[in-house]
């Protein structure tokens, strides 16, 4: 069951720019003796298996360095999936109880096509965005980042050593659209380009935020799925903000892994509004696709659209309920 925690900071509704599934990478660490650095940007908060050990000690689902017996502290470098403005981070020590770092800080830099050796050795590249801050065991730590600058890499420092389960880096994708305007066909829904699922009426089984992730879904949980609805003529819906205002050319809707629970039909509407304008008023939506039948576990490609835009937002309607793995909306930014 998927439920949203309304007590989380508002920035957690933004895109996790560091997420492995989006294309983030952990490039380097001073030490990951007990648990690999790559775990830091995996989905979720990490799990704990009581009796699982490796030849180096207790298996932990996170990044964990050995006990430091020399001066200094441990750190790692993360390459964001795409450059962006960071509004907040979550440093999560979930399941690290007697082995969490007491403090952490974060630095950032903005350098495209960075050379790893330069990132490691040139301290002048880095700007502190989170000062040294206390951490508690087994807890999420939400920190706002007060910077409007664009960043491509982060350096997470832990003092002096220990384990961090996950690092989430919430922000807004920054993309240079000027080479693409009126010329290039792109997936305007894609999270990597800046598309964002804003609202939906139901996501009981899995999150709306999966709908525009890269690649096909890895399983049935890696999609948007609503609960069974017994109301006659029910419509479930999801509103997605396009990465850029654009003219749509084709729609790909994927029901990958949804075999006994795919929607019967779907339709798509669009709207063209300015930043911050209301997108919840039914009377303002324009049909892009009429009701269309769906099949199980299948990519549905549609090139014939009723209206092509320009649009800034789309609304995906599914009838009466069910699960959709991915939605691709190919078009030209204008």
Calpha distance 323→184 (Å, rounded): 31
Domain boundaries, the chain: 10-173, 186-333
CATH of domain 186-333: 2.60.120.260
The pLDDT of 1-11, averaged and rounded, is 74
Residue 185 has pLDDT above 80, yes or no: yes
Closest CA to 111 of 73, 139, 82, 151: 151
pLDDT for 145-165, tens place per residue?
999 999 999 999 999 999 999
pLDDT band at 5 (very low <50, low <70, confident <90, very high): low
**What was the pLDDT predicted at 242?**
97
**What was the pLDDT predicted at 214?**
96
Closest CA to 226 of 276, 261, 182: 261
**Fold: same for 10-173 and 186-333:** yes
- What Cα–Cα distance (Å) separates residue 274 from each residue in 86, 271, 283, 313? 23, 10, 16, 10
Backbone dihedral angles phi then psi of residue 267, each to the nearest 5 degrees = -145, 165
Calpha distance 238→223 (Å, rounded): 12
The pLDDT of 255-269, averaged and rounded, is 98
pLDDT band at 114 (very low <50, low <70, confident <90, very high): confident
pLDDT band at 4 (very low <50, low <70, confident <90, very high): low
Residue with more model confidence, 273 or 236: 236
Measured from the Cβ of residue 321, the count of other Cβ atoms closer than 10 Å reads 20
Contact 262, 198 (CB under 8 A): no
pTM of the model: 0.92
The pLDDT of 223-241, averaged and rounded, is 96
Residue 170 has pLDDT above 90, yes or no: yes
pLDDT band at 69 (very low <50, low <70, confident <90, very high): very high
Q: Which fold has domain 10-173?
A: Jelly Rolls (2.60.120)
pLDDT band at 34 (very low <50, low <70, confident <90, very high): very high
**What was the pLDDT predicted at 282?**
65
């Amino acid at each position: 069951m998927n439920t949203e925690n309304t007590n989380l900071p508002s920035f957690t509704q933004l895109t996790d720019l560091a997420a492995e599934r989006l294309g983030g990478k952990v490039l380097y660490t001073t030490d990951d003796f007990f648990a690999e650095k790559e775990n830091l940007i995996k989905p979720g908060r990490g799990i704990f298996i009581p009796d699982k050990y490796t030849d180096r000690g207790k298996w932990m689902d996170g990044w964990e360095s050995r006990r430091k017996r020399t001066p200094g502290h441990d750190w790692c470098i993360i390459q964001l999936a795409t450059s962006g403005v960071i509004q907040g981070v979550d440093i999560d020590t979930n399941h690290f109880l007697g082995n969490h770092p007491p403090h952490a800080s974060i630095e950032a830099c903005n350098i495209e096509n960075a050379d790893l050796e330069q990132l490691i050795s040139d301290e002048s590249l880095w700007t502190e965005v989170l000062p040294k801050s206390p951490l508690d065991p087994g807890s999420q730590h939400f920190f706002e980042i007060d910077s409007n600058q664009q960043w491509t890499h982060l350096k997470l420092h832990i003092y002096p050593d220990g384990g961090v389960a996950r690092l989430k880096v919430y922000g807004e994708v920054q993309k240079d659209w000027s080479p693409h305007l009126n010329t290039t066909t792109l997936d305007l829904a894609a999270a990597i380009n800046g598309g964002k699922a804003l609202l939906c009426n139901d996501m009981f089984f899995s999150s709306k935020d999966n709908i525009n992730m890269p690649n096909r879904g890895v399983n049935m949980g890696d999609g948007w799925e609503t609960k069974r609805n017994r109301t006659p003529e029910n419509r479930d819906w999801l509103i997605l903000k396009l990465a850029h205002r654009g003219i749509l050319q084709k729609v790909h809707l994927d029901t990958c892994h949804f075999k006994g629970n795919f929607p019967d039909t779907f339709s798509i509407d669009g709207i063209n509004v300015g930043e911050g304008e209301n997108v919840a008023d039914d009377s303002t939506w324009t049909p892009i696709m009429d009701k269309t039948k769906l099949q199980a576990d299948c990519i549905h490609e549609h090139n014939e659209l009723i209206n092509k835009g320009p649009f800034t937002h789309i609304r995906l309607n599914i009838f009466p309920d069910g699960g959709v793995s991915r939605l691709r909306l190919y078009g030209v930014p204008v």
